[in-house]
Amino acid sequence: MQEPYRPAAQRVPARVERVAVVSVHTCPLDQPGIGDSGGMNVYVRSVARRLAEMGVAVDIFTRAAGPEQHVVDVDPGVRVVHLEAGPDAPVDKEDLPRYVNEFLASMIRFEASEAAAAGRSSPSYDIVHSHYWLSGSIGRHARERWGVPLVQSFHTLGLVKNRTLADGESPEPHGRIAGERKVVQTADCVLAPTLGEAADLVNLYGADPRNVRVVAPGVDTDLYTPGDRETEKASLGLSGRTVVLFVGRLQPLKQPDVALRAIAELSARNPELAASLVLVVVGGPSGRGGVQPHALSKLAADLGVSHALRLEGTVPHDALPRYYRAADTVLIPSRSESFGLVAIEASACGAPVVASDVGGLRVAVRDGVTGLLVPSFAPAAYADGLARVLTDARSSEAMGSAGAHFARRFDWRRASIDLLAIYEELAGTEAHPEA
């Protein structure tokens, strides 16, 4: 597949003033690491804030999961609009398709009411940007109703996940795959975080390459900065420990159990290292198939490494840098990742990364420079990678320094500037060359 990806026709850009963002299954105000909240939440909130700083008003539409949730002004120019769709309570992601039509109707009513109150002609928005496939089905209908371009970000792709399922993990259902295909064929632009995902969209879903654009996510380099490792360890009660950090939702895809088995394998190989080794897990269960913390505790006991497991649960996003700075290495044994935001956050804080050689992690980790990519899902293979990093202080320090420099390439403002340029191009008029 060739670069660059370009729109089907040359267009004269138009100013974009208002954007409707659809995030039906998870609210960007939710703390990452809880339930279905993760890197996508960080992405939506971070980009919306930067777009608003550039003069674009952003309304983020999400499902109300409680009776008191309405419209929340979260940043100047950014609102989160909680819409009624189904019960006033949390709903499993798998059950949300039945409420899509209700959500769409609520969104259409909200827009019409807002337009009338402000004396604006409908539609109020210049662009609809949907996140995840469920939101894409809503975006397709909003595009048709309002007559505005649709931009789609998937964040994960069902067919890609199905290629690397963990043992006993259920495949993504046909309904999801069919829904993704419909959105790919309808959207005016499909965003991918890497060229690898762009290729998957073309080769697996039949996307028109001219409608696929690559915009890498960013990292807040004001928040995620290097620090003194021993000081941060002391602040977290980890003095004297060799810290392997796992950050992410506890689900089979992320393989926290494999991380623990890798720790057990490494401990058995290196008794001296085993005395100080600890796996610090930051994150909570996600979805029906989520891994429960007590299951990890039981596995640790079965493996004889209970002393080497520390479950932190979820922590506020602005507290994560403390954990990254305290880490001797960050382990990401995921079976698939669209990008790998955790890897960039870790690098920004100066922590070397050991990660699976899959998907976006091949972009987020420079193998042998900012960390190591592991070519197997076997615990022993991750143990090999951990051993290389943890027993070679000079190499580890070099990776941390290189990572902090590398992470500065990924900037939310730059990503938002690129995204706004795409919005303006799509909102423009087709250029007709003079005869």
- Strand stretches in 362-428, DSSP E: 371-374
Residues 6+ apart with CB under 8 A from 116: none
Burial of 144 (0-12, 13-18, 19+ CB in 10 A): exposed
Return d(Cα 157, Cα 180) in angstroms, integer.
Answer: 8
Instruction: Flag whether 93 is in a domain.
Output: yes
Are the C-beta atoms of residues 414 and 46 closer than 8 Å to each other? no
Domain shared by 206 and 242, yes or no:
no
Domain shared by 53 and 77, yes or no:
yes
Instruction: Flag whether 350 is in a domain.
Output: yes
CA Rg value for the chain: 22
> For residue 431, what pLDDT is reported?
56
Return d(Cα 218, Cα 413) in angstroms, integer.
Answer: 8
Domain shared by 294 and 198, yes or no:
no
CATH number at residue 182: 3.40.50.2000
Domain shared by 142 and 242, yes or no:
no
Instruction: Flag whether 344 is in a domain.
Output: yes
Domain shared by 326 and 374, yes or no:
yes
Instruction: Flag whether 143 is in a domain.
Output: yes
Domain shared by 177 and 255, yes or no:
no
> For residue 430, what pLDDT is reported?
64
- Tally of domains in the chain: 2
Residue whose C-alpha is closest to residue 154's, from 104, 215, 98: 215
Instruction: Flag whether 3 is in a domain.
Output: no
Give the residues across from 373 on adjacent strands. Answer: 355
> For residue 34, what pLDDT is reported?
64
Domain shared by 45 and 166, yes or no:
yes
Instruction: Flag whether 223 is in a domain.
Output: no
> For residue 290, what pLDDT is reported?
61
How far from chain centre, in Å, is Cα 25? 14
Domain shared by 355 and 327, yes or no:
yes
Are the C-beta atoms of residues 345 and 403 closer than 8 Å to each other? no
> For residue 5, what pLDDT is reported?
45
Q: Give just the sign of the alpha carbon dihedral 26, 206, 412, 114.
A: negative
Instruction: Flag whether 2 is in a domain.
Output: no
Domain shared by 160 and 258, yes or no:
no
Domain shared by 101 and 157, yes or no:
yes
- Ranges of residues in the chain whose predicted pLDDT is under 70: 1-11, 32-37, 68-69, 287-290, 429-435
DSSP H or E segment with residue 190 = strand 189-192
DSSP H or E segment with residue 198 = helix 195-205
Amino acid, single-letter form, for residue 284: G
Are the C-beta atoms of residues 422 and 390 closer than 8 Å to each other? no
Return d(Cα 5, Cα 210) in angstroms, integer.
Answer: 5
> For residue 3, what pLDDT is reported?
43
- DSSP character at residue 210: G
Burial of 295 (0-12, 13-18, 19+ CB in 10 A): middle
The helix/strand/coil state of 79 is strand
Domain shared by 51 and 182, yes or no:
yes
pTM score over 0.75: yes
Are the C-beta atoms of residues 309 and 300 closer than 8 Å to each other? yes
Output the six-digit token pair for 325. 């700075």
Burial of 80 (0-12, 13-18, 19+ CB in 10 A): buried
> For residue 69, what pLDDT is reported?
66
Name the residue with tokens 């669209």. Answer: 338
Domain shared by 251 and 194, yes or no:
no
Cα dist from 90 to 59, 93, 109, 290, 406, whole Å: 21, 9, 22, 16, 38
Domain of 65, in residue numbers:
11-217+412-430
